[in-house]
Structure 1
Amino acid sequence: MRVEHIYRYPVKGLTAEALEEVVLTPGQCLPHDRRFALAQGDAPFDPAAPTWLQKRHFGCLMANAKLALLHSAFDPRTGTLAIRPPEGPPLLASTRTEAGRAEIAGFLSAFLGEEARGTPRFVEAPGHNFTDVAAKCVSIIGLSSLHALEQKVGMHLDPLRFRANIYVSGSLPWAEFDLLGQEVLLGGARLRVFKRIIRCPATEVNPETAERDAEPPKWLREHFGHADLGVYAEVLEGGRIAVGDSLEPTESELLH
């Protein structure tokens, strides 16, 4: 398998940012991936004592399709977040100051309108990632599996609907499921695949238009008997990965 795309999502529910290369760290997500989130006003999230919470507590595409209309960019060197709405002036604010985070929260709350509950907060907690599963991991999708779904339904599906970190080519459909429980080499890193990704209504949202114009979870169940696309993997040994690198089972796995 060959790495075709690498993405991080600095703010949960907002824009994917493409990377040519990245360095993985054992037991961690991609750097800056799901680092920030908009916690709804009724969310019991405490930045001083962060614990994993389900995505419904935060701004997310599953519940807030209109977030797809925002274009965001995060600069980790300065901590600046830029958000451009479909209409009106963009926002440029610091994620490192209380005033900046309040400004971002106010901007996103106003954009969500009635979908904002209470007084939302723009939150970050050092060492915490606002991922869909409690484990810190990397998400991987085989593009041939996505193409198999597209062929069944006769519709192009933007890979970014599925918000994975790594997209790979060069395998049979669903080959990534065969890696479950195995260790793999990804560029200069070693990972262990531990779970299939169950798709949710977030994948119904067109990342360009914010319209719910597809039903991937339903279609996966109808045509393949499951609602899964992609796998989660934990980083065992860190290292550099880049577009063009290979993903393959370790030699010890091949000997089994």
Structure 2
Amino acid sequence: MRIDTMYRYPVKGLTPEPLTHAELRPGRAIDWDRAFALAQGDSRFDPATPAWRPKTEFLCLARNIEAAQLTARFEPATGILTLIAPDGAALDAEPLTAAGRAAITAFIADALPGAMRGTPQFVYVDGHSFCDHDGAVISLIGMPSLQSLGDAAGAPRQPMRFRANLYLTGLEPWEELTWIGRTIAIGDARLRVTERINRCAATCVNPETRQRDANPVKELMDHFGHVDCGVFAEVLEGGRIAPGDSIRLLS
């Protein structure tokens, strides 16, 4: 088994960034993965006392199809987040500063007015991940599982619909769902697989056309009797990982 491709999603609900490598740290998500989010006006997230909140309290694909129209790129070296709106308007701002977050909030609200509820706030808290899971995790999916889903549905299902961090090859379809409680080794890194990922309406969005054109949640239930695709894992021991790295399932 090996890593095929790797991604991070700097802004919750927005576009992915491919990675050439990542330095994993115990108890942490991939650096800058879901590091930023747009909290809706009715969100109960408090940056002063950060705690996990449901994804529906933020701009998210499951509830806001408009979010698919925004392109996001983050450059850690400069601290600059670039956003491109559906009409081509662009913004470069610093999300690590209050002024930058205010500018980003205004830009997104102007670009996606129909997706806003109340007075939104673009948020960042050092070390906090706005993952759908209530902990700092990494998500993994076997490419053979996605092939199996596509075969059953009668049409390919793009891997990026599922917004995973690591896409794996060289395993059996749905094999990763059997790893709960097991530890995997990737070089020096050790990850414990904690639970299966229950899929939601975000997977209905085609990452290429940015439109809803399928229902993988229904397809999973109809053909496999569950809505799970991929697994979450927590980092036990850190290390550098990269596409092409082999993966060992430890006893």
* Kept in 2: contact 1:64–1:112 (CA 8 A): no
- Equivalence for 1:202: 202
Q: What is the percent sequence identity of the aligned residues?
A: 51
Aligned-partner residue type, residue 129 of structure 1: S
* Kept in 1: contact 2:14–2:67 (CA 8 A): yes
Structure 1: how far apart are the matches of 2:179 and 2:50? Answer: 31
Structure 2: how far apart are the matches of 1:187 and 1:242? Answer: 10
1:35-50 equivalent positions in 2, closer than 5 A = 35-50=35-50
Structure 1: how far apart are the matches of 2:111 and 2:67? Answer: 8
Q: Following TM superposition, where does structure 1 have runs of at least 4 consecutive aligned residues deviating by more than 4 angstroms? A: none
- Equivalence for 1:12: 12
Cα deviations across residues 87-113 of structure 1 (Å, max 9, x unaligned)? 132111111222211110011112221
SS in 2 for 1:222: helix
- Give RMSD over aligned pairs: 1.0
Structure 2: how far apart are the matches of 1:92 and 1:208? Answer: 24
Say yes or no: does 1:191 pair with 2:184. Answer: no
1:81-120 equivalent positions in 2, closer than 5 A = 81-120=81-120
Aligned residues: 251
- Shift in Å at residue 83 of structure 1? 0.8
Structure 1: how far apart are the matches of 2:188 and 2:22? Answer: 10
* Kept in 1: contact 2:96–2:124 (CA 8 A): no
SS in 1 for 2:38: strand
Structure 1: how far apart are the matches of 2:244 and 2:49? Answer: 39
Cα deviations across residues 130-166 of structure 1 (Å, max 9, x unaligned)? 0101021110000000000000111121111100000
- Equivalence for 1:232: 232
- Equivalence for 2:166: 166
- Shift in Å at residue 230 of structure 1? 0.3
Where structure 2 has 5 or more consecutive residues not aligned to the other structure, the ranges are: none
Aligned-partner residue type, residue 122 of structure 2: F
SS in 1 for 2:61: coil
SS in 1 for 2:112: helix
Say yes or no: does 1:25 pair with 2:25. Answer: yes
Where structure 1 has 5 or more consecutive residues not aligned to the other structure, the ranges are: none
Cα deviations across residues 173-226 of structure 1 (Å, max 9, x unaligned)? 011012111111023310111100000000001112221101001000000010
* Kept in 2: contact 1:184–1:248 (CA 8 A): yes
Structure 1: how far apart are the matches of 2:9 and 2:59? Answer: 13
Aligned-partner residue type, residue 80 of structure 1: I
TM-score, structure 1 normalization? 0.96
- Shift in Å at residue 119 of structure 1? 1.1
- Equivalence for 1:241: 241
TM-score, structure 2 normalization? 0.98
- Segment of structure 1 superposing worse, 98-107 or 30-39: 98-107
Say yes or no: does 1:218 pair with 2:218. Answer: yes
Structure 1: how far apart are the matches of 2:101 and 2:142? Answer: 36
- Shift in Å at residue 14 of structure 1? 0.8
